[in-house]
Each structure stands twice: as structure tokens, then as C-alpha cells.
Amino acid sequence: DQTTIQFTILTTAKTSEEAQNQNSMITSRVYQSFLSDGLDRKTWKTVQMDLSPQYDYSSSKTKLIGYQMVHRVIMVLPGIDKAGKVVSMLVDSGVTNIDSIQFGLQNPTAAQREALAAATKDAREKAQIIAASSGAVIVGVAYAGEPTYHYQPSSAMYDRKEVKMAAGAPEQQVWASTIQVSARVEVRFNLGE
């Protein structure tokens, strides 16, 4: 029920001022297209902005050949229905780098709790099999908890690498996939006869 799109506005020019001006023009078009489509301003933010000189190292003497400006933006949309439209709007506005599209959950707590309960039940069932095969029974729980290392559930990805698209193409079709939420538990059972 959530789509995260990361894109980069990348411009190169002979001077730093030109690179900044070109980047600013594309950024402005993106901003206006988002506003005209009613996308909430709180859904996108700049995560990186960088202006750097570009050099030619092909000869023995390093030569300044221009400047590159990078403006990386992350956008988090409620739902998944607008992903294709937003990608098309970005490309039509002059963005050539769609870095990634991720689908996720706005509130993963319920799914995480469900996975945790399933993992605990699974641990108990396995312990009962082990206990029964050794002639014992479970008489209590000595410890139950989550492992101490941090575990990040995997999320479905549309694409992790840069995608270059041409403006004027039909609206992009983007399909979400199933999100998997995993949990790990550590349980120590007391066994008796």
C-alpha cells in the first residue's frame, strides 16, 4: 500500500552555472507537474544534491571539461496506483534517471506481529517433535525473544539499477508484487519426562 520512487535529475554543462540552471529548470518542471496532478508536497524530498567538476583523464594532462549537477529525490506515495503515471510525468519533465521503485507497507507493524506469532508457533511445534522423539515433553519456556541482531524484512523491488527512459512514450506500466515480512524468534524450552 505504499510506493517509493527514487529518481535523479542529472545535468552536465561546460560551466557550473549552466549545469545548475539546467538542473533547476528540470526540477521546476517536475515540481509543477506534481503540483498540477495534486500530489502532496510532503510526498517528496531531496536526499542528495551535488555539483562537481568533470575531468578528462585520457591524456597525460588532466583537463577540466565541464560540471555535473546531481539532484536525487525520493518520493513516497500512498498506494501503488500512481507509480506508472509518476514515472511518465518524470520522464516527460526531463528526468532521465529513475533509480528505483519499491513497494512496501505504510504500517508494517501488524504484518510483523503476525510473522512473529507464526515464527513462535513454528518454534514450539519443532520443539515438540524434538522432545517427543527423545521421550520428553515440553514443561515450560525458559526464554523467548527475538535475536539480538537487526533484521530488515525484504521488500519487493521494481528495479535497483538506473533505468533510462525516453520522453513521449506511453504511460509506464508498473506492477507491484507481494511483500514478504519475516520474523525470527529464539525460544528455549524446559523439557521433562
Cell of 179: 511483500
Question: Mind listing the pLDDT tens digit for each residue in 37-77?
Answer: 888 888 888 888 999 999 988 888 888 899 999 999 999 98
Question: Mind listing the pLDDT tens digit for each residue in 70-124?
Answer: 999 999 988 878 888 888 888 888 888 888 888 888 887 888 888 888 888 888 8
Number of residues assigned to the chain: 193
Cell of 182: 519475516
Q: Where are the alpha helices (DSSP H) in 54-142?
A: 83-92, 109-133
